[in-house]
């Protein structure tokens, strides 16, 4: 399987959902459906480290690039996610060059960073992979995804892009809409204009850009504008929408509405 980093470096694109559900079967379905990546959400969701590790295993089984969104820009959180074998980490609320540098250094071993060293982890196949190979392979494969989620981050983007070692600059439309004073209005002209300027700037520096979308149409629009890494919806929302569609379809055929207890 080609690594996600290789796909993005080659100018390719990838799409996949965020996951909050703990069952590895959900990750397998994501792969069987044909998604390229999935983001295990340890910021907003209830998932713990042991659960995340099993989701990473399921991703590898079905050819999905497993990413983990950590809860904060903290070395220990990033380290644990990568030690599980994730191909990359989503790091929230990057709003300065210093914050970007901290996240990027935490993602890689010396000489590219300061990631904590331990071979007795799944990422090193529990010491099966020789030390030098593990360090070099990890540095080459890892995809740091830096979330730019507010006006301050957008304004600091030129300086953020000056820091070496980028994987993906990820534009978070919902948090950005709140920062712009229009919470939830991800299609508001101010939000869209800031995002488009950020896409153009990152692409001019040859840095891949990502974002979150709710619909296929929004995904198509951002892909056409040069976004390579698209996260589309969330497993719980996808399941809810499918259930609602089924229930309404059945009711349209004469099935009764649920009787409330």
What are the pLDDT digits (tens) for 163-194? 999 999 999 999 999 999 999 999 999 999 99
Peptide bond into 111 cis (omega under 30): yes
Examine residue 249 and state whether it is found in any structural domain, yes or no.
no
Residue 211 lies in a domain: yes
Q: Is 110 a catalytic residue?
A: no
**Structural domain includes residue 246:** no
Cα 184 to Cα 167: distance, rounded to the nearest angstrom = 27
Q: Answer for the pair 148, 199: CB distance below 8 angstroms, yes or no.
A: no
Helix (H, G, I), strand (E, B) or coil at 217: helix
User: What is the span of the domain harbouring residue 184?
Assistant: 4-235
pLDDT tens-digit readout, 205-251: 999 999 999 999 999 999 999 999 999 999 999 999 999 999 999 99
Residue 81 within a domain: yes
Residue 261 reports pLDDT greater than 80:
no
Structure tokens at 207: 């840095």
* pLDDT tier at 132, thresholds 50, 70, 90: very high
Average pLDDT score over the chain: 95
**Residue 1: pLDDT above 80?**
no
- Total-model pTM: 0.94
Total of domains in the chain: 1
Mean pLDDT within 30-48: 96
The DSSP output letter for 12 is -
Quickly state the pLDDT bin for 260 (edges 50, 70, 90). confident
pLDDT the model gives residue 176: 92
Helix residue ranges per DSSP H, the chain? 4-9, 24-33, 49-61, 75-83, 97-106, 131-141, 151-155, 157-161, 173-179, 189-204, 216-224, 235-252
What's the residue count for the chain? Answer: 261
Res. 42 pLDDT band, cuts 50 70 90: very high
Catalytic residue among 44, 128, 166, 187: 44
Question: Given this model, what pLDDT does residue 80 score?
Answer: 97
Using CA atoms, how far apart are residues 34 and 56, in angstroms rounded to an integer? Answer: 16
pLDDT band at 257 (very low <50, low <70, confident <90, very high): confident
3-state class (DSSP) for residue 144: strand
Report the pLDDT value the prediction gives residue 259, as an integer from 0 to 100: 77
Does residue 70 sit within a domain? yes
Question: Does residue 109 fall inside a structural domain?
Answer: yes
Examine the pLDDT at 195 and tell me if it is beyond 90: yes
Give the domain CATH number at 50.
Answer: 3.20.20.60
What confidence score (pLDDT) does residue 2 get? Answer: 62
Give domain status of residue 160, yes or no. yes
pLDDT digit string, tens, across residues 133-165: 999 999 999 999 999 999 999 999 999 999 999
The answer to whether residue 255 is domain-embedded is no
């Amino acid at each position: 399987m080609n690594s996600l980093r290789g796909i993005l470096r080659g100018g390719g694109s990838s799409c996949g959902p965020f996951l909050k559900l703990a069952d590895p079967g959900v990750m397998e379905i994501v792969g069987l459906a044909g998604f390229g990546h999935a983001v295990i959400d340890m910021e907003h969701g209830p998932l713990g480290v042991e659960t995340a590790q099993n989701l990473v295993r399921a991703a590898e089984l079905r050819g999905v690039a497993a990413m983990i969104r950590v809860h904060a820009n903290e070395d220990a959180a990033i380290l644990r996610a990568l030690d599980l074998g994730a191909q990359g980490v989503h790091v929230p609320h990057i709003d300065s060059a210093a914050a970007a540098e901290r996240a990027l250094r935490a993602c890689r071993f010396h000489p590219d960073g300061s990631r904590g060293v331990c071979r007795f982890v799944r990422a090193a196949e529990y010491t099966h992979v020789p030390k030098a190979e593990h360090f070099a392979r990890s540095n080459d494969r890892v995809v740091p995804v830096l979330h730019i989620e507010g006006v301050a981050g957008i304004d600091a983007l030129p300086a953020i892009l000056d820091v070496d070692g980028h994987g993906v600059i990820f534009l978070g439309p919902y948090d950005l809409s709140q920062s712009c004073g229009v919470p939830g209005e991800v299609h508001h002209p101010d939000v869209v204009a800031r995002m488009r300027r950020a896409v153009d700037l990152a692409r001019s520096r040859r840095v891949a850009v990502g974002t979150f979308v709710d619909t296929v149409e929004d995904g198509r629009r951002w892909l056409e504008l040069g976004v390579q890494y698209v996260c589309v919806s969330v497993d719980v929302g996808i399941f809810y929408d499918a259930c609602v569609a089924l229930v309404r379809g059945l009711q349209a055929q004469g099935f009764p509405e649920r009787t409330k207890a």
